[in-house]
Amino acid sequence: MKLREYFESVKGRGVLATADGDGKVDAAIYATPHFIDDETIAFIMRDRLTHHNLQSNPHAAYLFMEAGQKFAGKRLFLTKTREEQDSELLYSLRRKAYAGDEKEPKFLVFFQVDKVLPLIGAGENG
């Protein structure tokens, strides 16, 4: 099953982990990724700590835990490739709109998927 199909068919919760240029780590709850193509995903984010960290360190990890399963899910290892602010694409991808949030800038941050592993274990290649 392709990664896009997996995320379209499975419910759960995700955590995006980043670190700044000094290595200070942050983790934040994020919805499932938006798929641009088979090797590129994107997240919509506000100008907060996660976004700030990605300005000095392009590497991130996304941990996804399937709902109702004890230890099922995926770990995605990512590298930021670019971002755009308040773009038409960003607004076309939004799943929800919140009252009053139109004033705050939003960023569509694109990532290359470097590696995919199961939630638990090293995967098929050990």
pLDDT digits (tens, 9 = 90+) for 4-53: 999 999 999 999 999 999 999 999 999 999 999 989 999 999 999 999 99
Whether 26 is in a domain gets the answer yes
Domain range for 100 is 3-118
Phi–psi pair at 6, nearest 5 degrees: -60, -55
Amino acid symbol at 82: R
Whether 42 is in a domain gets the answer yes
pLDDT digits (tens, 9 = 90+) for 107-121: 999 999 999 999 998
CATH assignment of the domain containing 65: 2.30.110.10
pTM of the model: 0.90
How many independent structural domains does the chain possess?
1
Q: Is pLDDT of 99 > 70?
A: no
